[in-house]
Amino acid sequence: MTIDELLAHWLTNTPMKGRLIDNDGCMCAQGQVLHYVGGLTPEGLREMEQADADLQTAELLGISRSHAVLLRRVNDILPGAPTCVLTEPEKVLGNQAPRVLAFWRHLDRMNAADWQKAAAAWDAAWDAAWGGPCGGPWAAAGAAAWASNEIQGAAVMRERGRPFFFLPMFGFATPEEILL
């Protein structure tokens, strides 16, 4: 099955939510991508770790790992989902979807040193506000999520005179600096 055939299939056949595959052979969106497009067997799906499923789904669909996680999280909770997650991401992410997706591609290109730098920026900010570091690499992942929210809410932040706090941890003073 091609990706386009799977997207069309999802418009009338909503994938199960929750697991790559259940005991009855029902699959979530990622499970269907991995099985129908990637050729993974049902047993392979049952043995796969979620982080590996996110990465392989991203590779098969040519999207960022974060976008693959979004596909997994949205799956069937919106009309047109999961197809719209891939074909009309603005329905899920809002009008800043192209910039959010570009930021997520940036995250995929970051190496260990880049993540350490983001974690250090988080720890320094936390220390300045609360007195003491907080969390390292996992905190950097949280900061990436908050930076995504800053991109989505940039207009409101500017309207309220709020500076960008998380985006600079990833090298961007403003969302417009993220290359589309």
Question: Count of residues for the chain?
Answer: 180
| Rounded average pLDDT over 31-52 | 96
Buried b (16+ CB within 10 A) or exposed e, 151-172: bbbbeebeeeeeebebbbbbeb
CA–CA distance, 7 with 97 (Å, rounded to integer): 19
Structure tokens at 49: 């770790």
Structure tokens at 29: 């969106």
Whole-structure pTM over 0.75, yes or no? yes
pLDDT at position 87 = 95
pLDDT band at 134, cuts 50/70/90? low
57-107 residue pLDDT tens = 999 999 999 999 999 999 878 888 899 999 999 999 999 999 999 999 999
Burial category of 114 from C-beta neighbours within 10 Å (exposed 0-12, middle 13-18, buried 19 and up): middle
| Rounded average pLDDT over 146-161 | 96
Report yes or no: 54 and 30 within 8 Å, Cβ to Cβ: yes
